[in-house]
Amino acid sequence: MKYPIAIEPGSDTRAWGVAVPDLPGCFSAADEGIDQAIETAKEAIALWIEDAIDAGETIPCPSSITDLQKSSDYQGWIWAIAEVDPALIDDSIERVNITLPRRILARIDARARKAGETRSGYIARMALLQ
């Protein structure tokens, strides 16, 4: 997925600001120029999408830069694309094979039973809590 980002130029005393117009409230900043601004935008987009999915919200599709440039909100800003892994929004089930010591597996199974969950469900929930 490729989201257009608007980058407000920084200076020696001011960070580079980054807005993601398609994702309300998604923004970031960078101290070291455009390359870092794009990287911090990618992180912000990934976190925004993760939070939206957890809240059951719809993920907006990316707009075209041409359409977004028409907005007076970003006059003088630099436009770029932040590409994020589409797997972020892929909820399809995938079978995985992991290797764990038996004592750890027994502990996971006991905690999953206590929580009324399957092993996989318990591991997934624990991963999302981090």
Q: Could you report the per-residue pLDDT of 75-103, keeping only the tens digit for each? A: 889 999 999 888 877 778 888 899 999 99
Distance CA 22, CA 5 (A): 9
pLDDT attached to residue 130? 60
Q: Under a CB-based contact definition with an 8 Å cutoff, are residues 88 and 3 in contact?
A: no
- In this structure, the answer to whether residues 80 and 110 fall within a common structural domain is no
Distance CA 115, CA 76 (A): 53
Q: Under a CB-based contact definition with an 8 Å cutoff, are residues 108 and 119 in contact?
A: yes
Structural domain harbouring 65: 2-89
Segments in the chain below pLDDT 70: 130
Dihedral sign of CA atoms 108, 111, 116, 121 in order: negative
Q: Tokens 């027994």 appear where?
A: 106
Residue 36 belongs to domain with CATH number: 3.30.160.250
- In this structure, the answer to whether residues 42 and 105 fall within a common structural domain is no
3-state secondary structure of 5: strand
Count of alpha carbons within 13 angstroms of residue 66, beta-carbon side: 0
Q: Which of 89, 104, 121 is the last residue of a domain?
A: 89
pLDDT attached to residue 128? 75
- In this structure, the answer to whether residues 25 and 72 fall within a common structural domain is yes
Tokens of 124: 């997934």
- In this structure, the answer to whether residues 71 and 40 fall within a common structural domain is yes
Residue 114 belongs to domain with CATH number: 1.10.1220
- Indicate the pTM of the whole model: 0.72
pLDDT attached to residue 45? 96
